[in-house]
Amino acid sequence: MHTTPRPPLPMSGTQHRLTHGTYTAEIASVGASLRSLKFGQRNLIAPFKADEIRPCFHGAVLAPWPNRLADGHFTHEGQGHQLPLSEPERGNALHGLTAWLNWSTREKTSSSVTLGATLVPQPGYPWHLELLTTYRLSDDGLSWSVEARNCGQGNAPYGVGTHPYLSAGTGTADDWTLHIPAGQVMESTPERLLPKAQHLVEDFLDGELDFRNPRTINTTRIDHAYTALLPQERNKAQVTVVNPSGVGVALSWDATLMPWVQAFTSDLEIPEIHRTGIAVEAMTCAPDAFNNKQGLINLGTGEAHRAEWSIRAL
What pLDDT, in 10s, does the model give residues 223-238?
999 999 998 888 999 9
Mean pLDDT of 94-119: 99
Residue pair 313/158 in contact by the 8 Å Cβ criterion: no
Residue pair 247/313 in contact by the 8 Å Cβ criterion: yes
CB-based burial of residue 42 (10 Å sphere; 0-12 exposed, 13-18 middle, 19+ buried)? Answer: middle
* Domains delineated in the chain: 15-313 (2.70.98.10)
The runs of H, that is alpha helices, within the chain are 289-292
- In this prediction, residue 6 has a pLDDT band, given cuts at 50, 70 and 90, of confident
CA distance 136 to 141: 8
pLDDT digits (tens, 9 = 90+) for 237-279: 999 999 999 999 999 999 999 999 999 999 998 888 999 999 9
pLDDT recorded at residue 1:
52
β-partners of residue 15 are 28
Nearest to 181 by CA among 258, 261, 246: 261
Q: Is the pLDDT confidence value at 78 over 70?
A: yes
pLDDT recorded at residue 7:
76
> pTM for the whole thing?
0.96
Cα-Cα-Cα-Cα dihedral sign, residues 189, 158, 86, 95: negative
Cα-Cα-Cα-Cα dihedral sign, residues 137, 138, 139, 143: negative
Cis peptide before 287 (omega within 30 of 0): no
3-state secondary structure of 39: strand
**In the chain, % of residues over pLDDT 70:** 98
Residue pair 63/159 in contact by the 8 Å Cβ criterion: yes
Mean pLDDT of 26-55: 98
CA distance 304 to 158: 10
Mean pLDDT of 164-168: 98
Cα angle vertex 35, ends 273, 306, to 5°?
Answer: 120
Strand blocks (E) in 120-222: 129-138, 141-150, 156-158, 161-162, 165-166, 177-179, 182-188, 195-200, 215-216
